[in-house]
Structure 1
Amino acid sequence: MVAEVAVSVLLVKLQNLLDDERVMLPGLRSRVLTAVNELKQILSLLEAANANQGNAIVSHLEARLLHTIYSTDYVTENFLLLRVERRPKGVNKIIQMPLMAFSTQRQLRFSYQMKKFIKSIRAICSNFSEIHSFRGHQYDQAPEVLVGREDVEKELLALLFDNNEQSLRVISLVSEKPLGKTALARTIYNRLDIRRHFHYHAWLHVPKEFAYKDLLLIIIKQIPMPPELKDVEIMSEGSVFDLLFQILMEVRFIIVLDDVCTLDDWHELFYPLADSQNGSRIILTTCHSYVAALADPWSRSLKLKPLNDNESWGLFLKKVRGSKVSSDNTVSNNLKAEVLRICCGLPPAITLLAGMLSTIDLSEWSRVIDLVHSENQSTLLDIVALSHHKLPSVLQPCFLYFTLFPKGYEIPTRRLLQLWLAEGFIQMSSQVCDAPEDVAKIYLKELVCRNMIEIARWKPDGTPKTCRMPCFLYDAFLPKAEATGFLHIHHVHCKPDCKSSSKFRIQRLIDQYSVVKSTSESHIQHLRSYVSFEAQKGDTSNQNIGIFLKTIVNSRGFTMLKVLDLEGIYKPSLDEKIGLLQNLRYIGLRWTALGSCPKSIGDLPCLETLDLKYTNIITLPSSIWKAKNLRHLYMNEVSIEKPSKECSTNLQSLTGLHIGSKDPQIYGLDRCTNLRKLGLTYHSGSDMKTANCISQLTNLQTLRLRSRDRFGQPLDLKLSPMKDHQSLSNLHLFGVIKDGIRVRDLPWNLQILTLSVTKLKEDPMPELGRLPKLKTLRLFSCSYAGSKMKSPRGHFPELRVFKLWKLEKLEKWTVEEDSMPQLLELEIRSCKELKTLDGLQLLHALKELILTNMPEDFASELKKQIDVNKILTNKWQSSNQAKLVLMDAGVGDKMQSGVKS
C-alpha cells in the first residue's frame, strides 16, 4: 500500500536529475529517462492493483518492489552527493568541489546501476494487472462544520455551565468507534462563551507513551503567563507539578484530555488539576467505558452514537467540497442509499468518502463506491485504504509524512512545506513556472480538499497556519509507515540499543518525548532525516543530541542527511564540522535557546532552510552567504559579522536581519528580487537607503520594518511609496513616522497592516479606511498619539479584525454608519483613558469583542450597546502575583541566582 510513496520519491529525484547539466553522457540520460517512464508505469499499476485486489500477492510484490526502490534511492543519493575532499593531515580546511560535471567514471558506474534497476523493475511490473486511470481535482475551501451532534452539544454545554455544581467535574465523551469525540470536544473548546466563562484553557492529546513532565509542560504553556514564568522548563518534575497545581487553584479552568486509554494515565494527569470549588471542568475523550465511569463517578458520561440517515446525509453534503451536489435531488436514491449504507453513520467515514468523491465527476461516483468492500464489517478501513490509493502519486509521500509528527500535533504549515521541499517530495517541471513553495501549497490544499488533512488554525489573511492529520488516519497509517521503512519512531521507552523492527534500514528517525542515545550503524548509515519533539529543558537531551550528531559527522560516508529538525530541543550541541554534511537541506533550530551557530554552516551547498527564530543568537558568521541554494533564513534581530555582496538571489524569506546603519545594498539585498518575505531592523541613519532598496523588491508579500536604537527605543522610520508592490499584502512598521501615513504610499492590495510606536499625530482612520482590501488592522502600543479617532462612513469595506493596544491618550472612538460592515473581531487592550465608544451597535457583523485590562465601567457601558454574549473580558495576573507563585513552587531562588533557559 505504501510502496507508491517510495516510488514517488525516487521518481521526483530521477526527473530532477534529467534537468541537471552535470549529467553529460547521452547513455546515462537515456537510461534515467527509461527509468522515469518505468516508475510512472509502476505507479499506475500499483494504484489499480491495490484498489481492486488488495490480496497477499500484491503485498508480496510490493515488498519486492520496496527493496528495489530503496536500494536504487540510496545509489541515486550517493551519485548526487557533492564531493568533499580534505587537505593533507594537519590542515583542517575543507575543499568543496564546484558544481561541475560528474566524472565520466562516476556517470558510467551510475548508468550501469540504472540498467540493473530497469531490469528489476520490469520484472516486477510484469506481475501486476492493468488498471483504470486517475485524475486529480482542486477544491474550494469550506468552513468546519459539526452536524448531527446538536443534542449532545447542548447537554455538554449544560454540564459545563452548571452553576449548581461548583466542584471540579469530569465530563467524558465515550465511544468505541470513531464517532467524532475529538471534533465535538474541539468545537465546544473553541466557543466564545466557553472562553469567556473559563479563565484558563488547555488541550492535551494523551499519547500511549509519554514523559510525565512533558505533558505537564504542554498544559502550562497554554496558560497565559507573565514573563517571569518563561523558564519553567528548567524546573524539576515535582516543581512543575506544584506550580501547575497552585496556578489552577486560583482560577476557573477547562482542560480537554483527548484519547485517554487507561485509568493509570488518567490518575497521573488528574493529580495536579486542583479543585478550587469554583466550577472548573475537564472534558475527557476515551474509547473505554470503564475509564469514563471511574474517572468521575459523580458526573455523567456522554455516549456518542452513530448518526442517523438524515444527519449522515447532511454531513456528507457539507463535506463534498466544490461539488455540484447541493440537495437530495442531485443524487439518485440508489446512490444516496449506498453512501449511507457503507458509511454506517460514522462521521470519519462520511467525511473521507465525501472528500474522495469531490475530486471526481458525479457520473463516476458509482464506480468508486463499488470499490468499497461491502461485505467487510470495517468499512471505515476500506474507505481509508481507497482514499489513499486514489491519491495522486506525488501526494502520497506528502500525506504519509504527517505520521512523523505526534498524534494530534498541530503542524505549522511553514515547517511542513519546507520539510517537504527538503525531502524532495515536490515535483517540478519545465512547464511549471510556480516556485516550489507555491506547488507545495497546492499539494496541501489538495489533501485538505480530500478531507485527509484538517486545518487547525488560520492566519489573518485566510491562509492555513497549522494543520494536522485526523487521529483515525494517524492510527491507520503510522504502522504502515514504520513497517515499510518510511520512518522509524524512537519512543520514550526505547532502550539505547533499540533497533527498528522493520526489514528496512532507517531513513527517517523520529524522537517523540525522548532523545535517541544510540549511535549504532542501523540508526545512522542510511539516515536522511532526523526530527525531534523533545519538550524538556535542563536535562541531558543536548548532550545526547551532540553525541549523535558528532557520530554522524565523523563517520565516513554518513553524509546523506537532508533534514536536521531540532525545534524545541534545549541548546543542542552542534558540531563545528556540520559543514561536512554536504547533503543537508533543512536545519530547524527554532526555540532551541542556542547562543551561536557553527561557522561551517556556510559550507553546506544544498542548504535551503535555516530557521534560527526564537533563539539567543545575535550574530551569524558571514559564511552563511556562501550557501547559494539558501531560500529561507529566519532570525530574530541577528547581525551578520561581515556583510557580503554575494547574497543568494534564491532567497525567498529573510527575516530578523539587523543591519544597523549599514546600507542594505552591502548585503546584496537590492539584487534579491525573488524575496517574498523580508524583516529588517535598522537605524534611522540608513532609512533612505533602506527605502530605496525596498522599492526594487517588487515581489515582496510580507514586509516588517523596525527602526530603533541599540537600546530598543524607536527611531524615525522613512516610508517610501509602495504603489508598485502589487504582491505586498502584509506590512508591519515599528518606528516613528513623522510625516503621517498616507494611503497613496501604501500597497493597494494590502490585507494586513500593523503599526507600532509610529506615534502618529493625526487620526489614521480616514486614510487607512480607504484601503479596499484591508482585512486586519492592528494599532499597537503608541501607534497613535491623539485623543480622538473616527471611522468614517463607508470606510474599511473588507476589514474583519481590528486590534487597539495600549493607545495611552485615546479617549474617544466614533464609528459611523456603514463603516467596517464586515468586522468580526474587535480587541481593545490597555487603552486606560478610553471612555467613549460611539456607534458600536452599528457593527452588525461583530461576533467577538475582547476587552483586556480595561476599566470595568467601560466594559459595563459597552454591554448596554451590544449582546453581552459577544463580549469577552480578560485580566492578567500582576507580576507580583506571578513571583509569589514561582516562590511557592521553589524556583524563586533559581531565578534570583541567574538561572536562564
Structure 2
Amino acid sequence: MKDNDLADLVQKNLKGPRYLVVDDDIWSRDVWDSISQIFPNRNNGNRILLTTRENEVAMYANTSSPHEMNLLDLDNSWKLLRNKVFGLEHDHPLVLEKIGKKIVEKCQGLPLIISVVAGHLSKTAKTLNSWEYVAQTLSEIIACHPNKCLGVLGLSYHHLPNRLKPCFLSMGNFPEDFQVDTWRLIQLWIAEGFIRAPAGSRKSLEEVAKCYLEDLISRNLVMAGKRRFNGEVKVCRIHDLLREFCFIEDEMTKFMHVVRTPFSSTQKPNVRRFKFPSKSGGGVAPPEAFIDPPLVARSKYYFSLLNLPFEPRIKLVGILPIYRHDPIIHGFFSRFNLLRVLAIFNTNVRFESFPLVITKLFHLRYLQIRCFGNIPESISELQNLQTLICDGHSLDITLPEKIWMMKNLRYIRL
C-alpha cells in the first residue's frame, strides 16, 4: 500500500473504541509530526506511548516530563538473565547464581546485552565451567551478534549530526570504565579541531563544547558521572559496548588506529590518530615495536607505563618510575613534526626533567606530561599550543616569563 492509503486505513480503524498505540523508536520531530496526524483525538481517553532515544523528541511530543529509563541494577539484571535462560516458572541451580551475577555485572545494566548473553547461555550447558567460560569471553560473544548489539546501538551514532560524530568517537580513546574529567575532554576536543563556534555566536569554544557534551548525554551515547552543584557534568564515560562500536567505526572511517600489534615496515596505517591501549585492554606489542610508527600521526594517546614506545632507563624514586633523557627518547619524539595532541595519562611515571625535544613539535596544541623540574624557556617555541598540563613532584614550579607571550595558550594546569 501507499503511505497515504495506509494512513487512511489506520485512521478509520481507530475511530471506534478507545485505543492504545505504541510508537517505538522515533528519531526526529519530523517523523512524529508525520504520523501523529493519523491518530484521531476524540477526547475519550485514547493514549499514544512513544519511545525514543532522543530527549528532544520526547519533550517535543509531550511537554510534560518524559519517563527516563535507567540502567538495570545488579538484582534486576540477574532476574532478567535468569528468566530468559530458565523461564519464569523454573528454578535455577544455586551454584550458577554467583557466576551469573558476575556475568550480568559485566553487562553494565544494559538489557540489550543481557538478552543477547541470555540467548547464548540458553544454548550452552548449565554447568559452572560453561558459565565461567562465558564470563571470560563475554566481549567475543557480543561481537558474534553485531546485528543484535552493535548494529542497534550504531543507529544512535548514524543519526548524530556530523559535528558530534568525531566528539563521540573520541570517547573510545579511553580505557574501559575510564571516567574522563570534563575539563580535560573539552580541551582535547578543542585541540583536535572538533569544536566550531557558529557564525556570529558569542560563545567561547569551551561553552560550545559543553553544549556538544550535553547533546551526546541527552542522546544516551555518553553517560554523565558526577555533576557539580550547578548541574554541569564533572566526569563522564561511555558504555563498554559503545566503546567497542567506536573501535569498529574508527577502523572503518580511519578516524583512529588502535595499536595492538607491531607496525610492519611495509604496511603502516594511513591514520592521523593513534591509541596505545593498556595491557588489560587487549594486549599490545612490546614497546620497542613502536619505535617507528607512521610519521603522519597527528594525535597520540598513551595510558600505560609499559606502552611508552621507547626503551626506558629507569631509576626508582619511592615507587615512581622515572624516565631519564636519552637519545632514544629524543629520536622518537623528533619524528613527529605534525603532532598536534600528545597525551600521557599514566599517573605512575614521570620524566626526570622536561623533554626539550617536545618543544620542537611546532604544531602541538595539547600537551599532557608528568615531569620533575621547571618548564623550560623553550616552551614558548610552541606558538600553536592551546593546553598545557604538567604534573610535577615538587611543590615549587617556576614558569618562564615567555610563556605569557604565547598567544594561543588558553589553558594551563599544574
In which range does the TM-score fall when normalised by the shorter chain?
0.5 to 0.7
Match of 1:172 among 81, 90, 99: 99
Distance apart, 1:468 and its partner CA: 1.1
Distance apart, 1:517 and its partner CA: 3.1
Match of 2:165 among 369, 372, 396: 396
Amino acid at match of 1:622: E
- Report if the CA contact (8 A) 1:512-1:534 is conserved: yes
CA distance in 1, matches of 2:371, 2:67: 39
Question: CA 1:148–1:425 in 2, change beyond 3 Å: closer, same or farther?
Answer: closer
Query: Are residues 1:598 and 2:368 paired?
Result: no
Report the TM-score when normalising by structure 1: 0.30
- Report if the CA contact (8 A) 2:367-2:389 is conserved: yes
CA distance in 1, matches of 2:127, 2:175: 24
Q: Aligned ranges for residues 254-273 of structure 1 at < 5 Å?
A: none
Query: Are residues 1:448 and 2:239 paired?
Result: no
State the secondary structure of the residue aligned to 1:457.
coil
Q: Aligned ranges for residues 231-380 of structure 1 at < 5 Å?
A: 293-294=128-129, 378-380=147-149
> What residue in structure 1 maps to residue 183 of structure 2?
414
Distance apart, 1:381 and its partner CA: 3.7
Query: Are residues 1:488 and 2:257 paired?
Result: yes
> What residue in structure 1 maps to residue 107 of structure 2?
181
CA distance in 2, matches of 1:136, 1:155: 26
Query: Are residues 1:430 and 2:196 paired?
Result: no
Match of 2:274 among 496, 500, 509: 509
- Report if the CA contact (8 A) 1:603-1:623 is conserved: no
Q: Aligned ranges for residues 860-879 of structure 1 at < 5 Å?
A: none
For this pair of structures, how many residues does the alignment match?
Answer: 304
> What residue in structure 2 maps to residue 534 of structure 1?
304
Segments of 5+ residues of structure 1 without an aligned counterpart are 1-134, 157-168, 186-258, 260-284, 302-347, 349-375, 636-901
- Report if the CA contact (8 A) 1:578-1:598 is conserved: no
- Report if the CA contact (8 A) 1:457-1:467 is conserved: yes
State the secondary structure of the residue aligned to 2:176.
coil
> What residue in structure 1 maps to residue 231 of structure 2?
462
Question: CA 1:147–1:408 in 2, change beyond 3 Å: closer, same or farther?
Answer: closer
Distance apart, 1:519 and its partner CA: 5.5
> What residue in structure 1 maps to residue 295 of structure 2?
525
Query: Are residues 1:145 and 2:70 paired?
Result: yes
CA distance in 2, matches of 1:155, 1:382: 22
Distance apart, 1:400 and its partner CA: 0.7
> What residue in structure 2 maps to residue 561 of structure 1?
339
- Report if the CA contact (8 A) 1:517-1:548 is conserved: no
Question: CA 1:627–1:469 in 2, change beyond 3 Å: closer, same or farther?
Answer: same
Distance apart, 1:431 and its partner CA: 1.5
- 1:617-674 Cα offsets, whole Å, 9 max, x none, are 6222222222111111112xxxxxxxxxxxxxxxxxxxxxxxxxxxxxxxxxxxxxxx
Question: CA 1:500–1:628 in 2, change beyond 3 Å: closer, same or farther?
Answer: farther
Query: Are residues 1:473 and 2:223 paired?
Result: no
Distance apart, 1:499 and its partner CA: 4.4
- Report if the CA contact (8 A) 1:579-1:603 is conserved: yes
Match of 2:351 among 572, 577, 583: 572
Segments of 5+ residues of structure 2 without an aligned counterpart are 1-53, 60-64, 82-95, 136-141, 280-285, 315-320
Question: CA 1:408–1:152 in 2, change beyond 3 Å: closer, same or farther?
Answer: closer
Structure whose alpha-carbon radius of gyration is higher: 1
Q: Aligned ranges for residues 748-897 of structure 1 at < 5 Å?
A: none
> What residue in structure 1 maps to residue 403 of structure 2?
624
Question: CA 1:460–1:148 in 2, change beyond 3 Å: closer, same or farther?
Answer: closer
Q: Aligned ranges for residues 21-36 of structure 1 at < 5 Å?
A: none
Amino acid at match of 1:511: F
Instruction: Compute the RMSD of aligned alpha carbons.
Output: 4.5
Question: CA 1:152–1:563 in 2, change beyond 3 Å: closer, same or farther?
Answer: closer
CA distance in 1, matches of 2:266, 2:75: 45
- 1:346-365 Cα offsets, whole Å, 9 max, x none, are xx9xxxxxxxxxxxxxxxxx
CA distance in 2, matches of 1:624, 1:614: 17
Question: CA 1:489–1:597 in 2, change beyond 3 Å: closer, same or farther?
Answer: farther
Distance apart, 1:402 and its partner CA: 1.1
CA distance in 2, matches of 1:292, 1:418: 49
Distance apart, 1:136 and its partner CA: 11
- 1:682-730 Cα offsets, whole Å, 9 max, x none, are xxxxxxxxxxxxxxxxxxxxxxxxxxxxxxxxxxxxxxxxxxxxxxxxx
Amino acid at match of 1:550: H
CA distance in 2, matches of 1:600, 1:441: 33
CA distance in 2, matches of 1:174, 1:501: 47
CA distance in 1, matches of 2:66, 2:403: 39
- Report if the CA contact (8 A) 2:367-2:387 is conserved: yes
- Report if the CA contact (8 A) 1:174-1:292 is conserved: no
Query: Are residues 1:609 and 2:410 paired?
Result: no
- 1:804-828 Cα offsets, whole Å, 9 max, x none, are xxxxxxxxxxxxxxxxxxxxxxxxx
Distance apart, 1:429 and its partner CA: 3.5
- Report if the CA contact (8 A) 1:136-1:392 is conserved: no
CA distance in 1, matches of 2:157, 2:259: 25
Question: CA 1:550–1:417 in 2, change beyond 3 Å: closer, same or farther?
Answer: same
Query: Are residues 1:588 and 2:368 paired?
Result: yes
- Report if the CA contact (8 A) 1:585-1:606 is conserved: yes
State the secondary structure of the residue aligned to 1:601.
helix
Query: Are residues 1:498 and 2:333 paired?
Result: no
- Report if the CA contact (8 A) 1:511-1:533 is conserved: yes
CA distance in 1, matches of 2:253, 2:265: 11
Q: Aligned ranges for residues 35-46 of structure 1 at < 5 Å?
A: none
- Report if the CA contact (8 A) 2:334-2:361 is conserved: no
- Report if the CA contact (8 A) 1:455-1:467 is conserved: yes
CA distance in 1, matches of 2:175, 2:225: 15
- Report if the CA contact (8 A) 1:519-1:551 is conserved: no
State the secondary structure of the residue aligned to 2:300.
strand
CA distance in 1, matches of 2:66, 2:227: 12
CA distance in 2, matches of 1:155, 1:608: 48
Question: CA 1:560–1:175 in 2, change beyond 3 Å: closer, same or farther?
Answer: same
State the secondary structure of the residue aligned to 1:415.
helix
- Report if the CA contact (8 A) 2:167-2:189 is conserved: yes
- Report if the CA contact (8 A) 1:532-1:565 is conserved: yes
Question: CA 1:618–1:520 in 2, change beyond 3 Å: closer, same or farther?
Answer: closer
Amino acid at match of 2:412: L
> What residue in structure 2 maps to residue 384 of structure 1?
153
Distance apart, 1:290 and its partner CA: 8.1
Amino acid at match of 2:296: H
Amino acid at match of 2:99: S
- Report if the CA contact (8 A) 2:300-2:342 is conserved: yes
CA distance in 1, matches of 2:146, 2:344: 42
State the secondary structure of the residue aligned to 1:172.
helix
- 1:196-219 Cα offsets, whole Å, 9 max, x none, are xxxxxxxxxxxxxxxxxxxxxxxx
- 1:490-509 Cα offsets, whole Å, 9 max, x none, are 34xx4xx4349987424222
Question: CA 1:507–1:548 in 2, change beyond 3 Å: closer, same or farther?
Answer: farther
State the secondary structure of the residue aligned to 1:560.
coil
